[in-house]
Amino acid sequence: MRYQKLPSDLYTQNREAFMKAMKPGGLALFFSNDIYPTSADGTLPFKQHADIFYLSGVDQEETVLLLFPDAHNPADREILFTLETNEELAIWEGAKLTKAQATEETGIKNVQWTTAFERTLHRLMAEAKSLYLNDNQHTRARLTVETRTDRENAALRAKYPHHEIERSAPILHSIRAVKRPWEIDQMQRACDITKAGFDRVLQFVKPGVMEYEIEAEFMHEFLRRGSRGFAYTPIIGSGFNACVLHYIENSDECKAGDVILMDVGAEYGNYASDMTRCVPVSGRFTDRQRAVYNAVLSVMQDAMKLLRPGVSLHDYHKEVGDLMTAQLLDLKLIDRHDVEKQNPAWPAYKKYFMHGTSHFIGLDVHDVGHWHEPIAPGHVFTVEPGIYIREENLGIRLENDIVITEDGFHDLMAHIPLEADAIEAAMNA
């Protein structure tokens, strides 16, 4: 394993928080992700389902977690099912977790092989009043592939039609949104690795380099520091490409006079970081580029101060919109008439800043959390305003990850160069 594993106490606490929120008599199931095929005998690298990882710390396929806090036998209240190693598997892929190792990693004493899952579940369902099923209820999810969880849920509904079905997602969205100190430490490590990649890139960028070469420089630094790579598909967009919000081709040449938008982040221990920086290909911003850059930076810095306990995300985004409106007026990209006649559902500033400012981040880049609930200590958000001027081939977005504290916020990326002067100084050192 490349990363430093977290103490099993974290996962024990996470399970306790989930079970405390369950209704009496409920039994909950969580499944690992499939290993997804490509073609022929190819597969994608395995990526564990965030929920089972959050509750167990197991980063292995063919895993099932059963939680039944009201089971008559205390040994049945937490059961982990894992894949048993055989000689062939050990030779070709390496040994899987032993039962003792699984207990050490998770804090779960009752570990069984996956072959025992069906009969154990059937026995316990006779005691259970309801079945908690998990599914992807993220508001931005676009589901086109049936997951293992989808398949198992369908089979369970058919096999146990007389049990009440409860939803695990609302509970998980609440407890996962509030990060524990150990989790924040992992996210800080991911941000530190991201900084190392950015420091490397600042010395590398010059006219004529390809966007994908910059991507490679980040990847080099990420891998050598214990990350498995990018937390999400990186965006390295120079010139007009910076105005394409989810540009991921990273295939063009970086030309003198252009600005490169780099939206990248390392993962560490399955936790994500999410950073955006913009740098001038030639090592110096033009006056216009600097003016737009500083406008975005001003909105970013003011937006961070707005994210505090008790604030609603709806109100926060509205206030950020007002901040951006003021900056766009100063840049003469919009005028007072545009603001006066704007559609409240799509304000004038949206012409140049068309996305949201912040999202939850954690085990998922766009992490789970309840948008209608007030911001609370332990929430971790991105702050990422941007201005995209397509007619000028100029896109500027700046992004840091911050932790909400009792009295404000802590910036996990405060040590990463951000000011225009700092960017130029690093590039010309």
Average pLDDT over residues 247-261: 98
- The reply to whether 75 falls in a domain is yes
Active-site annotation holds for 173: no
Q: How many CA atoms, within 13 angstroms, populate the side-chain half-sphere of residue 138?
A: 17
- Model confidence band, residue 2 (pLDDT cutoffs 50, 70, 90): confident
pLDDT digits (tens, 9 = 90+) for 29-67: 999 998 888 898 899 888 999 999 999 999 999 999 999
- The reply to whether 399 falls in a domain is yes
- pLDDT of res. 148: 86
Active-site annotation holds for 192: no
Q: Which of 183, 302, 399, 401 is catalytic?
A: 399
pLDDT digits (tens, 9 = 90+) for 146-165: 888 889 889 999 999 999 99
Residues 170 and 196 in one domain: no
3-state helix, strand, coil in the chain (%, to 5): 40, 20, 40
Active-site annotation holds for 317: no
- pLDDT of res. 66: 99
Q: Which of 49, 173, 379, 397 is catalytic?
A: 397
Active-site annotation holds for 76: no
Residues 163 and 245 in one domain: no
Q: Which of 149, 132, 135, 164 is nearest to 21 (CA)?
A: 132
Residues 110 and 201 in one domain: no
Q: Which of 132, 268, 316, 388 is catalytic?
A: 388
- In total, how many domains does the chain have? 2
Q: What's the Rg (C-alpha) of the chain? A: 24
- pLDDT of res. 248: 98
Residues 195 and 160 in one domain: no
Residues 281 and 167 in one domain: no
Average pLDDT over residues 88-105: 90
Q: Which of 352, 363, 218, 357 is nearest to 279 (CA)?
A: 218
Residues 157 and 188 in one domain: no
**Amino acid of residue 424:** E
Q: Which of 252, 359, 364, 367 is catalytic?
A: 359
pLDDT digits (tens, 9 = 90+) for 168-186: 999 999 999 999 999 999 9
For the chain, give me the number of helices (H) and strands (E)?
13, 16
- Model confidence band, residue 338 (pLDDT cutoffs 50, 70, 90): very high
Residues 134 and 241 in one domain: no
Alpha carbon distance 318, 187 (integer Å)? 28
Active-site annotation holds for 258: no
Active-site annotation holds for 162: no
Residues 364 and 418 in one domain: yes
Average pLDDT over residues 337-344: 94
Domain boundary among 133, 161, 177: 177
pLDDT digits (tens, 9 = 90+) for 374-428: 999 999 999 999 999 999 999 999 999 999 999 999 999 999 999 999 999 999 9
Q: Which of 51, 274, 401, 424 is catalytic?
A: 274
Q: Which of 263, 302, 367, 401 is catalytic?
A: 263
Write out the residue range of the structural domain in which residue 223 sits: 181-427
Residues 242 and 389 in one domain: yes
pLDDT digits (tens, 9 = 90+) for 267-319: 999 999 999 999 999 999 999 999 999 999 999 999 999 999 999 999 999 99
Alpha carbon distance 396, 393 (integer Å)? 10
Average pLDDT over residues 345-370: 96
Q: Which residues contact 216 (CB under 8 A, 6 or more apart)?
A: none
The answer to whether 82 touches 63, Cβ cutoff 8 Å, is yes
Q: Which of 160, 253, 366, 392 is catalytic?
A: 366
- pLDDT of res. 1: 67
Residues 205 and 336 in one domain: yes
Active-site annotation holds for 246: yes
Active-site annotation holds for 287: no
Q: In sequence order, what are the beta bridge partners of 135?
A: none
- The reply to whether 1 falls in a domain is no
The answer to whether 162 touches 131, Cβ cutoff 8 Å, is no
Which two tokens mark 5? 């594993």
- Model confidence band, residue 137 (pLDDT cutoffs 50, 70, 90): low
pLDDT digits (tens, 9 = 90+) for 80-95: 999 998 888 877 888 8
Active-site annotation holds for 217: no
Active-site annotation holds for 366: yes
Q: Which of 140, 142, 162, 246 is catalytic?
A: 246
pLDDT higher than 90, residue 340: yes
> Mean pLDDT across the chain, nearest whole number?
96
Q: Which of 41, 340, 406, 407 is catalytic?
A: 41
Active-site annotation holds for 41: yes
Average pLDDT over residues 324-336: 98
